[in-house]
Structure 1
Amino acid sequence: MKNIIFGLTLPTVLLFTSLCVGASDVVKLSNSGICHDENSAWFEKTKSFTIYSSLEKCIAAGGRPTKSNGNKKANQSPTSVNGIPKYVRSDYAHWSDFDHDGMNTRHEILEDMSLSIVKYSSNGNYVQRGRWNDPYSGKTFYKSSDLQIDHVVPLAFAHYAGAWRFSKEEKELFANDASNLLPVQSSLNQSKSASPPTEWLPPNLKYRCAYIYHFDRVMKKYKLTYKSHQLRTMNKMKAKCKG
């Protein structure tokens, strides 16, 4: 399978973001998971963060608003976007424990995908150490705390692609489906946010085509639909991979 660039290397994406996002539009997602816009008292004090161009995108990536923004959002946010119910992350219950063994989906994925024997917490419910090859970065990790579990097709993207029609139970199954989950470097999961392959690709060039096909398989499995311009770009990408 070919290595493919598509003009979307991570440094280029980050540079483009820094050039195009005005200072007034910058929202910082702190390491503690809080979205700070310029009105936040902690905006200037937050030194370790991931940048988003809007509060909505930061929240869609899994962040939570400050108390003041949360109240403002509750009063001002529309309940639908183009007739589609607005995405609410809590509607997609994830890291469930379906078999009631004390270990949730995150740690079952870490357990299943470790290339070595794993080390558990004292109660046996959490995976602490193992050996994981992250396909996004091409790096190997040994501490679970260095990894996040990525939804290959992000929950927010899936929602607007048709998952909003799912029942509560179907949303939970989708959010915990192992075929859509990968342990990856935390910073890459955050930089990807809710982006499809037309907007974000792993920096590991050798994995890009596999990633595109993986994303597409999940979309088809759940009968989710791309927007017309996304579909055109995806078809071009797959054609380049085949060529």
Structure 2
Amino acid sequence: MARRFKRKYGVTPLERILIILLIAVVVGATLGVILPRINNGIAEITGRYTATGTAAETLNKLAVVDRPNGDGYDRDLFGFRETDDDGNGCDVREDILARDLTDVAYVTRNGCKVKSGVLNDPYTGKVIHFTRGQNTSAAVQIDHVVALQNAWQSGAKDWNARKRMQFANDPYNLLAVDGPANQGKGSASAAYWLPTNASYRCDYVARQIGVKDKYGLSVTSSEKRAMQSVLHGCPGQEIPAD
């Protein structure tokens, strides 16, 4: 009876070989995913940081500073929303809302203050119906693609007040986005935060690179690797036009 049980439920030599092969395939696939994330050297060898296009080329030209000094940062030193460069009577928040929203309605006829509109949010992919109001305006916020604090420790600390104000109010570095997503990003670089909308990550990283190049800002090694990893998935990615 024991021999009959063994023949019925035992594993044949062929089955053992198939099991070993299956285990080898699973382990190999797992290591292929995990090791590049653990070891940057392996990631370099496997090409996870290789990228093409003007965004990648520009990134490689940026200075790398791994111990940036953020001492003395104060958001007020940038003068955000304190300019009206186009002379229309509205600050840059209103200008960006008017640029990025669709179906825009204004508070007054021929005015520039946005009363309502629709945002196809690039960070989350959500459609947000914006309405101006004390309890509703924060649903759409204006994000500095390269955060002010990140800019400060990447070189803006050494700028004069005029250049900091120019940076803070430059439409090239501003996007209307989902309020909670903007709050979640805070001052994080690409090494620590990327849009949950994966289809926008290439454009997001390319714009950050464009901004840093325009203003001569640096990146950290981890920030650069994160950007390269994103750009690896979008060959030929271009820098956005100013």
List per-residue Cα deviations over 1:5-27 (Å, max 9, x = no partner): x99xxxxxxxxxxxxxxxxxxxx
Distance in structure 1 (CA, Å) of the matches to 2:94 and 2:109: 14
Q: 1:102 matched to which residue of 2? A: 89
Q: 1:214 matched to which residue of 2? A: 207
Q: 1:89 matched to which residue of 2? A: 75
Distance 1:128 1:241, change over 3 A: same
Q: 2:174 matched to which residue of 1? A: 181
Deviation of the 1:135 alpha carbon: 0.5
Q: Output the amino acid matched with 1:222.
A: Y
Whichever of the two has the greater Rg, that structure is 2
Deviation of the 1:235 alpha carbon: 2.2
> Relative to total residues, which structure has the larger helix share, 1 or 2?
2
| 1:25-36 paired onto structure 2 within 5 Å | none
Deviation of the 1:194 alpha carbon: 0.3
Distance in structure 2 (CA, Å) of the matches to 1:221 and 1:172: 15
Deviation of the 1:100 alpha carbon: 4.3
Q: 1:163 matched to which residue of 2? A: 156
Instruction: Say if 2:129 is the partner of 1:129.
Output: no
Q: 1:26 matched to which residue of 2? A: none
Q: Output the amino acid matched with 2:227.
A: M
3-state SS, counterpart of residue 170 of structure 1: helix
Deviation of the 1:208 alpha carbon: 1.3
Distance in structure 2 (CA, Å) of the matches to 1:82 and 1:152: 19
Which 10-residue stretch deviates more, 121-130 or 189-198? Answer: 121-130
| 1:17-166 paired onto structure 2 within 5 Å | 85-95=71-81, 96-120=83-107, 124=111, 126-144=113-131, 145=137, 146-166=139-159
Deviation of the 1:86 alpha carbon: 1.5
Deviation of the 1:122 alpha carbon: 8.2
3-state SS, counterpart of residue 130 of structure 1: strand
Which 10-residue stretch deviates more, 181-190 or 232-241? Answer: 232-241
Distance in structure 2 (CA, Å) of the matches to 1:138 and 1:150: 15
Please give the TM-score of this superposition, normalised by the length of structure 2: 0.61
Q: 1:35 matched to which residue of 2? A: none
List per-residue Cα deviations over 1:40-99 (Å, max 9, x = no partner): xxxxxxxxxxxxxxxxxxxxxxxxxxxxxxxxxxxxxxxxx9766421100000112234
Distance 1:208 1:227, change over 3 A: same
Aligned CA-pair RMSD? 2.6
3-state SS, counterpart of residue 235 of structure 1: helix
Distance 1:123 1:93, change over 3 A: farther
Q: Which runs of 5+ in 2 are unaligned?
A: 1-32, 35-66, 132-136, 237-242
3-state SS, counterpart of residue 142 of structure 1: strand
Instruction: Say if 2:223 is the partner of 1:230.
Output: yes
List per-residue Cα deviations over 1:178-225 (Å, max 9, x = no partner): 011111110000000000111111111111121111111111111110
Aligned length: 165
3-state SS, counterpart of residue 124 of structure 2: coil
Deviation of the 1:119 alpha carbon: 2.5
**Of the two structures, which has the highest relative contact order with CA contacts closer than 8 Å and spacing of 6 or more?**
2
Distance in structure 1 (CA, Å) of the matches to 2:162 and 2:214: 16
Distance 1:183 1:84, change over 3 A: closer
Distance in structure 2 (CA, Å) of the matches to 1:177 and 1:112: 13
List per-residue Cα deviations over 1:107-143 (Å, max 9, x = no partner): 0111122222323258945212012211111112221
Q: Output the amino acid matched with 1:118.
A: A
Distance in structure 2 (CA, Å) of the matches to 1:84 and 1:189: 21
User: Identity of counterpart residues, as a percentage?
Assistant: 35
